[in-house]
Homo-oligomer: A and B are copies of this chain.
Amino acid sequence: MAGHVTYREVKATILDRIKGGAWPPGALLPSEVELAAEFGTARATVSRAMRDLVEDGLVERKRKAGTRVRKMPLRQARLDIPLVRVEVEDQGAVYRYALVASHVGAAPDWLRARMGLPGGGEVRHILCMHFADGQPYQFEDRWISLDSAPDARAADFTAEGPNEWLVRQVPYSNVEISFSATAADAEQAQHLGCALGDALFRVERQTSWDGRELTFVRLTYHRGYRMTARY
């Protein structure tokens, strides 16, 4: 390379060598000092290219062992998990919330098993709907442990959904999230305005805070919903 060498050019050259097999999977790369000398550029320029390649999951750095080509490129997608209100508003649509049903009672066995709740614990069960421009967007079926969140017993969910309330109450730390498909049952079909058995995208989320299980929610989306990310 002649003249001023950018980090993009350095990165492209390294990529060509990885792609071309000059530096195969598992290969040890020359040091940044050696590469800077070869490319006639500053070490900082090589460093920046390397950081990009590490973030792209193509090479990995090991202490004292140098930088190697990954045996298998690491692929990770980052998914934003916004409040449904924010998701709808970001699409330029008008958001509306509606409470469907709410009651307090003993946790059913499947929920106790799933959340790891102690026997005798009470929960608040909330069913509610989220609309975008008047069309059904998401059906929310949520359980909140009253042992972990006693304030949820008397909280008013008629004007505001439990997700907004929880975010304000608890800067919760641990979430397990799963994505799957489900056939619409009668309740989902009624609220989402689709046919019984229609294929719906479903998110299940279990949230714990400070080591205590707080809430489990099943979110079912309108037919044709798509969750998108880039990486």
Q: Please provide the chain A residues from 11 to 50 with a CB less than 8 Å away from any CB of chain B in the complex.
A: 15, 18-19
How far apart are the CA atoms of A174 and B229 in the complex, in Å?
A: 11
Total chain A interface residues with beta-carbon distance under 8 A: 46
Known: A182-B181, A202-B181. A75 touches B86 (CB 8 A): no
Asked whether A165 is an interface residue with its Cβ less than 8 Å from the other chain, the reply is no
Contact yes or no, B170 A19, CB < 8 A = yes
A187 CB, nearest partner CB in chain B, Å: 16
Copies per complex of this chain: 2
Asked whether A95 is an interface residue with its Cβ less than 8 Å from the other chain, the reply is no
Looking at A109-117, A123-131, A193-201, the stretch in contact with chain B turns out to be A193-201
CB contacts (< 8 Å) of A144 on chain B: these are none
A100 CB, nearest partner CB in chain B, Å: 22
Asked whether A93 is an interface residue with its Cβ less than 8 Å from the other chain, the reply is no
How far apart are the CA atoms of A167 and B86 in the complex, in Å?
A: 36
CB contacts (< 8 Å) of A182 on chain B: these are 181, 199
Contact yes or no, B181 A200, CB < 8 A = yes
Asked whether A169 is an interface residue with its Cβ less than 8 Å from the other chain, the reply is yes
How far apart are the CA atoms of A82 and B75 in the complex, in Å?
A: 6
Contact yes or no, B72 A80, CB < 8 A = no
Which 8 A-B pairs give the minimum distances between C-beta atoms?
A181-B181, A199-B199, A75-B81, A181-B199, A181-B201, A178-B228, A183-B199, A180-B226
**Mask for A66-83, Cβ within 8 A of B = 1, else 0?**
000000110111111111
Contact yes or no, A73 B171, CB < 8 A = yes
Q: Please provide the chain A residues from 186 to 211 with a CB less than 8 Å away from any CB of chain B in the complex.
A: 197-202
A215 CB, nearest partner CB in chain B, Å: 14
Contact yes or no, A176 B228, CB < 8 A = yes
Known: A177-B229, A198-B183. A167 touches B72 (CB 8 A): yes
CB contacts (< 8 Å) of A170 on chain B: these are 19
